Every structure is written in C-alpha cells, then in structure tokens.
Structure 1
C-alpha cells in the first residue's frame, strides 16, 4: 500500500527546493486535492449528476510575490520529463500559442482566467496526486494555482463556483481538454467526511455525509497511463450531443429509458445508442447512490457501483483489460460492496467500497493475481482547497 505523504512532509520538500532556487523562504503555502468519483462517470458534460469526494492526495504550491515582470514556476513531479522550470515574461499575456511544457499550460490557463488582479511570483509545485491516474491531477494543479493567486493577491469576494468555472475554462482553452465541471468543483468545495453531489445542469451541489467506522474507500492505480487530449474523450462528447440532438433535447439529462427506445426506432447508429444508454442510466444510478450513501446503505451503493462499471465497459467503452481485471479481482473478495473504474477511462484507477476488515485481503488478492503492478491508496473524504499560510493572514 502506498503511503500518502502528509502536508508537512510535502510542504517541507517544496520549501527546501524554493530556498535553494530563490535564496529566500516561501511565505505562501496552498493546497488543493485530487478527487475520486464514487459514481457518475461521463455524466458531467451531459448536464447530469456526479458524486465525487476530495482526497488526501494533494497538489501544493509554495512561493512569494515578486516585484518584476517575470514569474518563475518549478515543478518537482518525477513523472514530468519536459522542462520542469518555466518563466513567464508577462502575466497578462499568457498566449496559448507560446510553446510551453504541457504541465505549464494548466498554470498559464488559470492565470489567464483568474478573476482579479495578479502580480508576478516565484513558486514551487509538488504533488502526491498520481499523473494520468484518473484522480484529477490536472484539476488539483488548476485549483492550487487559483488558490495560490488568491493568497498572493489577497482574497476577494469571488464565489467558489466561479473559481471552479475559471479553472475549467483554463483546461478547455489551454490544455485542450473539454472537461465537465466535476473535477474543479470538488477540488474547490470538498469537505472532510462528505461526498459532493453535483448537479451539472444547475451548477449546484449538496454535501452528502460519508462517515462510517465500517467501510473504507480503496483506490487501486492500474499504472496504465491515459491522456484525455486524444480523440476518445472529445469523440464521446460529440456522440452524446448527437444523441441529444436526435431526441430534440438540450442534453441527455432530459432523456429517459423511453428515449433509448426512440433512438432504436430511428435506426440510429448502435454506438450512439450505447453512449446514450450509459449516460441516461448513469445519471439515475448517481442520484440513487447519493440516497443510499445518505442512508448508509452500502450494499445498495456497491451494487450501483458494479452496474456503473459494466455500463462504462460495455456501453461507453472506456475501460481496458487491466481495469476490468482489477475490478474482477476486487469483487472476488468477501467484504467488497462494489468496485468500478473511476475517471475518464482507458487506464487509471478503480475505486472500491469495502469493509475495513477486508482491505488487506483485497490488496493481497490483487497483488497476487494482477498481471501488472498496482498501487493502492486507502482514502477518507477530505477537505478542498485551502490557504495554509500567506503574508496577509
């Protein structure tokens, strides 16, 4: 099982690098979490419901304001092979066409979409959120950047939803990923001991209590990497929009089972029908799962997770052999309520709801039988973005 570094350890490493690079102590420290989506996959950009929780896996930025026109950002991520040090000559000219390492585009996009005045800075980024694991390392970086800018310039009256939407625009415009709102919302607004039921149509959310001495959330990283800037993610969005258009609806949020039959009667391409079938059923599963979680009905919640996985595998076709293997191996163990792929798909992680006493049995079963090499995290619902220290506090 992977040990999750605590905030003190991560901050200490980042501050040490900052002092060595910039010959001063970093006064600003912020953190923003990754997330695991318990259920509600590929529903956010279809105006549906999602049910994520914030993780103790976080991205941290330490740094200071500077008095010149240049900002310097350093990432400590070992997974990034590109240039790890980036300079920005003018914060207000974060030009999309200006070639930068991919990771820096997330930062530049947030700076460009920040609501308020910004100033130049020096910063070091460190993260415990695995890249490409489906735990939203990108949103953690975006929201950490926004929170850092808040700490840098002084808090204003911007609503949390507006901050999340600004980070979403950054990912759309600068990273080229047409993501929904879930990842940024939970990273901004997550709370300890709760999941967040997000209504992606009305841009509202409700905290759902998730506290139990009986169950644990086990995240298993397949260590199969995926990249959502490829064609698969945008293609599925287009397929969903096509289905909604054929049904003369604004989005698949407004559709139901009868509409799937309507698509069949219209002799629509089978792939379009399958995509719509998943989204329509997944939206319903998510609201039912939120109610089950509220009632601590973990048996029901687990069954919905399993249904979700096979819908994502067979109808939405975003799973892969490694992920399917991890789900099956988890479900072999007594004490497992449910297991499913989480995140965009094509690799990444599974999320498993399991009795606490059975966690090690699941880990051992997967460790013995999985053809790849998995990494495990046992996580509790955690807080969203926070300013840990800043000069004005």
Structure 2
C-alpha cells in the first residue's frame, strides 16, 4: 500500500482539534521536526564515523501553550499499545528530579524538558506524527527535536543547531535508555530540502550535499515488523564495537584500518566482535565513497554501495531479519533498481530502495505480490529539518 504522506498543515489541524478537545482552549505555539532515512552509514555514528542521512517529509508536529502552573500535561494522538496517551509531570526543580517512567513514549518529552537550559514554565502540549513508530526512521528523534523547538518558542530562546541536537541526544540516552549516536538528532535539526547531510560524528561537522537527479526515487518500504530482541541487541553491538577499539588501543573504530583486525584474530577475540568491527570500518569507507558519488550524480555507484551496506549489516553486523532480507532480495531482482538495504537499528522496520522513477510502480507491485507480510510504501524526497509552524 502506497501511504499518502499527510501535509504538515493537516497534522497541525488534527493536533489543534485534539488540543482543544482535551484542554478546552486554543494552542499558541506549533512546531515540527522530521524523521529521517539514512542513505548509508549504519551503526557508524556511535563509532565516530560518517553518516549520510536525509530528512523525510514524515514529521512530528507539536502544538501547545503555557498553562500558568509548574505542571506539564502532554497528550499524543499515537495509539501506543498498552500505554496511556496522556501524561502529567512537574517541571524539574531543586526539589523535583524529573525521572523517566510510564508511559514510555513520554520519556522522550521528559528527557528534553529535563535537559533544556532555558527557564521553563508549565505547559500543555499535543503530539501528532506521521513518522512510523519502530520503523527505523527515527520517530524518537523527531519527537525530541519537535519538543525542543516548541520549548524554544515557549521561552523565547534559540539554541545553536549543534547544541540542540546534542541535548536531544542526551535526552534519549538518559530517559529512553538508548545509547544512540548523534545522527538522528542532527538531521532532524539541520535537514534541508533536496539535500543529504554528510555528518562527521567525530568532529560534529556536517556538509550539505545536493540531490539533483529527479529521475531517481527514494522508496521507503516499511516491513511492518519489529522484533523485540532489538532492545538488547543494539547496546550489545555498541559494546562489541567499543571493545574492539579498546583492544586495538583506540578510542573508537574511526581510527582503525581493516588490516588491523588481524591483531584481534591473534588475540583470539570472538568472531562476533571482529565481524562488528569489520562492518563499521568498511561502512565508514563506503559512506565517504557514497558522498562523493552523490556529489558526482553517480547514482549507479551509490546503488552499488547501498547493496554492499545491506550485505554487511546482514552478514557481519547481524542486525537484519528475514523480512528485511526478503524485501531487499525482491527488489534487487526488479528492473530499474540501483540498490536497496535495511535502514535503522535493525531487526525490523524499513528498507530504502534507489529506483528509477519509471520503474517504481512495478517495484511496489512486485513487493506486494512476493512479500509474505503487508508492506507500506512511502515515496520520499529530502525535506527540511525542524521549524516553527503557523497556527493560522
């Protein structure tokens, strides 16, 4: 099924209607931040490597107002299984150390509130999002960055984009317990229409790269599966990468070359740790090559690198799953496809496929016919990052 991506104005209206229904008043502030898809550079961000994401037209919208108290009340239109869609909590203070809790979706908001450096007042807020939950397209960062942008308006302050991203990352570390790298918050903050963003996760410098070829479509396919083991497997993979770097006397795998892994083999380090390191080292190199290919408008080369990325994620990092592999295998047999791979942390979620425009319909038909599950398709263009919205 090809999902119609709702306009931001439609999400704002839905959020306004829900806000008025719950709180009996009209919101005065609206903001949004996008999800993202990473063209290449998976599991390299927390290894000080390079990533090449683009912001999606799928966004999280928040609307709200001050409420004259020291209490924050937040509602979401998302239907989160076994969780309330409404939460209240006191602003952090010397006497109140804000902590994560239930419902879990609210921890992304609480984390931003707890780490925000302006002087906050109590507020009411409603969240409405078109970013698929658990799809590997960073719904969590979109909530964090949209919340931060809302708080900037609430306090009449403006943070530097890098500081904003780092605070939102800290929120996810501390309140969601997910030791993510910086990519998701960076691209959600700094994305630009018709551009990808090459991010150096060591220096935190970034470089916008135009995407010029209108014949190329970025097809996002949601497998609509999410395996529960990913919650523990992500931190485990991160620990394996850090262990490999430490054993080689480096602070991260960014400084390691492939031939240096022989030293780990000589130390009888387990094969899983060596495989994780091999993926990261080769993926960092692929990401730089992909950025060059994009600058040179060489989408054939970009597609080849995307294919290699999936193979490495499947075989070396072992974060794919049968459903993602099936989606990738199906499209690689279709005319007009340049490359396809899983995106995100793994164990479910989405794939990205680079395909010529005149072939995209046949590719979707082939997936619908051959894929055992029920896929959802999004045809996406690189979009803008976080921004304040009009309520008119």
Report the TM range for the smaller structure's normalisation.
Answer: over 0.9
Aligned-partner SS, 1:343: coil
Alignment partners' CA distance in 1, 2:264 and 2:7? 50
Alignment partners' CA distance in 2, 1:91 and 1:70? 10
Report the counterpart of residue 89 of structure 2 in structure 1.
88
Q: Following superposition of structure 1 onto structure 2, how do residues 62-73 of structure 1 map, counting pairs within 5 Å?
A: 62-73=63-74
Alignment partners' CA distance in 1, 2:288 and 2:332? 23
**RMSD of aligned alpha carbons:** 1.4
Residue from 131, 134, 140 that aligns with 1:132: 134
Q: Following superposition of structure 1 onto structure 2, how do residues 142-153 of structure 1 map, counting pairs within 5 Å?
A: 142-153=144-155
Aligned-partner SS, 1:262: helix
Shift of 1:21: 1.4
Shift of 1:265: 2.7
Q: How many residues are paired up?
A: 389
Alignment partners' CA distance in 1, 2:175 and 2:376? 30
Shift of 1:95: 2.3
Alignment partners' CA distance in 2, 1:80 and 1:140? 20
Alignment partners' CA distance in 2, 1:382 and 1:228? 32
Alignment partners' CA distance in 1, 2:122 and 2:62? 15
Moved over 4 A (4+): 226-229
- The question of 1:248 aligning with 2:285 is answered no
* Contact 2:230–2:347 (CA under 8 A) maintained in structure 1: no
Alignment partners' CA distance in 1, 2:248 and 2:204? 23
CA displacement 1:25-62 (0-9 Å, x = unmatched): 11211000000011000000000000000000000001
CA displacement 1:216-246 (0-9 Å, x = unmatched): 1000000002458721011111100111011
Q: Following superposition of structure 1 onto structure 2, how do residues 257-276 of structure 1 map, counting pairs within 5 Å?
A: 257-276=258-277
Alignment partners' CA distance in 2, 1:277 and 1:110? 35
Aligned-partner SS, 1:222: strand
* Contact 2:74–2:126 (CA under 8 A) maintained in structure 1: yes
Aligned-partner SS, 1:334: coil
- The question of 1:20 aligning with 2:21 is answered yes
Alignment partners' CA distance in 2, 1:333 and 1:215? 15
* Contact 1:151–1:390 (CA under 8 A) maintained in structure 2: no
Aligned-partner SS, 1:39: coil
Alignment partners' CA distance in 2, 1:215 and 1:222? 22
Alignment partners' CA distance in 1, 2:214 and 2:203? 33
Aligned-partner SS, 2:338: strand
CA displacement 1:307-360 (0-9 Å, x = unmatched): 000000000000000000000111111110100000000000000111011111
Alignment partners' CA distance in 1, 2:54 and 2:208? 10
Aligned-partner SS, 1:389: coil
Report the counterpart of residue 141 of structure 1 in structure 2.
143
Aligned-partner SS, 2:224: coil
* Contact 1:176–1:229 (CA under 8 A) maintained in structure 2: no
Report the counterpart of residue 238 of structure 1 in structure 2.
239
Q: Following superposition of structure 1 onto structure 2, how do residues 84-123 of structure 1 map, counting pairs within 5 Å?
A: 84-92=85-93, 93=96, 95-96=98-99, 99-123=101-125
Report the counterpart of residue 77 of structure 2 in structure 1.
76
Aligned-partner SS, 2:36: strand
Structure 2: where are the runs of 5+ without partners?
none
* Contact 1:177–1:229 (CA under 8 A) maintained in structure 2: no
- TM-score w.r.t. the length of structure 2 is 0.97
Report the counterpart of residue 52 of structure 1 in structure 2.
53
* Contact 2:328–2:340 (CA under 8 A) maintained in structure 1: yes
Alignment partners' CA distance in 2, 1:94 and 1:103? 19
- TM-score w.r.t. the length of structure 1 is 0.96
CA displacement 1:86-122 (0-9 Å, x = unmatched): 111234435226x321001110000011121111111
Aligned-partner SS, 1:230: helix
Shift of 1:205: 0.5
Shift of 1:267: 2.3
Alignment partners' CA distance in 2, 1:106 and 1:374? 27
Shift of 1:23: 1.6
Report the counterpart of residue 305 of structure 1 in structure 2.
306
Alignment partners' CA distance in 2, 1:235 and 1:154? 40
* Contact 1:132–1:227 (CA under 8 A) maintained in structure 2: no
Aligned-partner SS, 1:108: helix
**Residues 330 and 229 of structure 1: CA distance in aligned 2, closer, same or farther (over 3 Å):** closer
Please identify, of 378-387 and 218-227, the stretch whose mean Cα deviation from structure 2 is larger: 218-227
**Residues 4 and 66 of structure 1: CA distance in aligned 2, closer, same or farther (over 3 Å):** same
Alignment partners' CA distance in 2, 1:311 and 1:345? 12
